[in-house]
Structure 1
Amino acid sequence: MDASSEGVPAEVPGDDAGQEVKAEPDWADRIKEYRQGDVIRVVSIPLKVQPGVVEWVATPHGAVLITQTCDVVLKDRPTAHLAPVLELPPVEAKANRNGRRPHLVHLPELGDCHFADLTYVATVSKAVIASAERKPGVEAIAAVRKFGQRVGRRFSRFAFPDEVVPWIRPLQDLIGSKVTKEASPIGWALSKIASLRLECTEEWEVAPYSLTLCVVLEPGVLPPFPPNEIPECSERVSTWLYGSNGATLIRRHSEIAKYLHDAERISLDATDRYWLWSALADSWAAMCVPPENSTPDILEAVEGGVVSSDISSTEEYSFERYRHSEEIDLDHLSSPLPL
């Protein structure tokens, strides 16, 4: 069998000027139909586990093409990248469709429970890909854009400074334990959040860092008050949240979330709803403290020893703030540091 039959470009006689041209690989026309997010019917993909040793990761649901479409269709690039398709239980799938775990990217054309598992990514010859059956994992333009963004995010996430990680870990643990439990008040509250972001005023240049937990809520969750015109909280809710002195939050995050959750069944005043969400954000920010026996560089990593908080809707959260903040998600933080 010659090289051209394997999809390798073969040299052919050139024109009268003596120039040589290369024949198109035999997969070139077929690959033009393939798109990022397509599911390819392959039974396994390779995983190099040590020099000279390759294992095969089974892909009973196929593998998804994660290379950008513009690179997939180019005939002068002989390889593309595949990741296994994973099927999750319904409850776990529901919790992960919002992208909370960046290594899992939803494939809506396969149903509610199928995801690209970016834990494993294999480089595969386009000859193999083009010869396999394909079907779209994403199809609508919005879904295609979201898929591409989430694949990109997996490989471009910012690594928080090591000394900041222990500060955020309590909040990460809370999210991890409640995100699949939407029947609980905390799980319900998390389902209303589009993004949890950590904003640093000085671009992470040097400790101590001035940090703000930004709770960005889905459209319609917060009342649409004009900027700088938010009414005062009612005395009843203010007393419940802060006690008679009105200065220190006395309610735990679980209590505030339950109040908000239960208030969905009644007509809660818009102003009170705003201040309850603000208090919930404050309570989550207050959780962001490291263990008392942490090393000095950890204990002194955050300016003033406090992470502040801020709430906004997706419509209000500015691109400038987005540029100065980083997503908090379940795969974002590194392992615990030795104490």
Structure 2
Amino acid sequence: MPDDLDKYRQGDVLDLAYVPVLTNDGLVREEPTPEGVVVVTQTCDLVLRKRPTLHVARIISLNDIDAKPARNGRQPNLVHIPELGEKSFADLTFVATLDKSILSQVSARPGVLQIDDVRRFGQRVGRRFSRFAFPDEVVPWLRPLQKIVEGKDGNLDSPVGWALDHVVSLRLECEEGWKTTPYALTLCVVLNPGVIASFEPDELPEFPGDLAGWLYDNEGNLRRKVAEIALRLKGGEKLMGAAERYWLWGGFADALAALCIPPVSEPSSVRTAVEEGRIRGDLSTSEEFSFERYRRSDEIDLDHLSPPLPLREAK
């Protein structure tokens, strides 16, 4: 084991040619890592001599289109490595356990340096292994949202892709916890700081009458689709006032939530799983989203929604 363990950090890049993968016949194959590997073990564990192993993930490069959403954290199995450039990622589908003695045999260099990058790297590695598995009956409600985000997320030329680029997080909040159906659910659309002006709850800006009529009918039902609202947001970004921008982004959040309807072919247990048969939309910025709401909500990793568990025969 190296004497200088304290110089290594989570996010360090190691020039390792392969990682071991155990196959179903009990043999170990060598998974090539031509771009090296990155250390995913937490620094506090990495530097302790009493812990003899470390964990690494292989490094891969993505094309420009796929790299943008991955950098934004949309794919939990991919974690950006800033010091290697915009297209380099830790691929957490290939994580290997190595003896720390390997550190004496390979060169190492930092993959993350800036403190914000260090925190983000650690958080996203941790998220991969701590994601909440939504109840089976809720997953079909989120599939339509998954389709539109997957289709537009990397395409910033589209209005929807442009709008999603301003969204830092999509979270699902269950008002009473996940104890029993029907669940009272809210889709929390959390924007980057500065996208909308901040208003106190009792001092919201006046809702312009023409905009209100364009977005909602007399009964408060949404008239517009996600793409229509995103087009108006993008087209008028430099001209609209703070009030119009606030209410349009609120409509965008409502439109994303309105997508969340399961197919009629789903069983009754799915169609009745959500209170009032709809998921509500809510808009905030990352500065306004409280820690309490963070605790009672869960990140929606849309590209990794778990399929229902297979039915098991009663014993």
TM-score normalised by the chain length of structure 2: 0.95
Q: 1:256: Cα distance to partner?
A: 0.4
1:129 to partner: Cα distance = 2.7
Note if contact 2:215-2:223 (Cα within 8 Å) is conserved in structure 1.
yes
Is the contact made by 1:200 and 1:212 (CA closer than 8 Å) also made in structure 2? yes
Determine which of 277, 282, 295 is the counterpart of 2:267.
295
| CA–CA distance in structure 2, aligned partners of residues 108 and 242 of structure 1 | 43
SS in 2 for 1:169: helix
Is contact 1:215–1:309 with CA below 8 Å preserved after alignment? yes
Give deviations 1:44-100, integer Å, cap 9, x for gaps: 001112142222111111000100111111112111111000101122112211111
Aligned equivalent of 1:254: 227
Secondary structure of the corresponding residue to residue 118 of structure 1: strand
State the distance in 2 between where 1:193 and 1:290 align: 24
Helix, strand or coil at the partner of 1:28: coil
> Which of 103, 111, 123 does residue 77 from structure 2 map onto?
103
In the alignment, residue 231 of structure 2 is paired with which amino acid? K
1:231 CA displacement: 2.0
Q: Does 1:173 align with 2:147?
A: yes
Q: Secondary structure at the match of 1:290?
A: coil
Which piece of structure 1 moves more, 312-321 or 328-337?
328-337
1:278 aligns with 2:250: yes
Greater gyration radius: 1
- The aligned counterpart of 1:20 is none
The Cα shift of 1:31 comes to 2.5
1:176-325 superposed matches below 5 A: 176-243=150-217, 245=218, 247-264=220-237, 266-325=238-297
1:76 matched to 2:55? The reply is no
- Aligned with 1:44 (options 9, 18, 30): 18
1:63 aligns with 2:37: yes
Distance 1:130 1:196 in 2: 42
Between stretches 306-315 and 229-238, larger displacement belongs to: 229-238
Unaligned runs of 5+ in 1: 1-26
Residues 238 and 246, structure 1, Cα contact 8 Å, conserved in 2: no
Q: Any idea what SS the aligned residue of 2:66 has?
A: helix
Matched, 1:134 2:108: yes
Counterpart contact for 2:136–2:307, Cα < 8 Å = no
User: Once structures 1 and 2 are overlaid, which stretch shifts more, 165-174 or 29-38?
Assistant: 29-38
Aligned to 1:6: none
Determine helix, strand or coil for the equivalent of 2:89. Answer: strand
Aligned counterparts of 1:330 and 1:134: Cα–Cα separation in 2: 34
Task: Give aligned-pair identity as a percent.
Answer: 53
Q: How many residues align?
A: 311
Residue 156 of structure 1 aligns to a residue whose secondary structure is coil
Structure 2: which 5+ runs fail to align?
none
Q: How does 1:13-32 map to 2 (within 5 A)?
A: 27-32=1-6
RMSD: 1.5
What secondary structure, in the 3-state scheme, does the structure 1 residue paired with 2:170 have?
A: strand
TM-superposed CA distance for 1:203, in Å, is: 1.4
SS at match of 1:320: helix
Higher RCO (C-alpha under 8 Å, 6+ residues apart)? 2
Residue 2 of structure 2 contacts residue 103 of structure 2 at CA under 8 Å; is this kept in 1? no
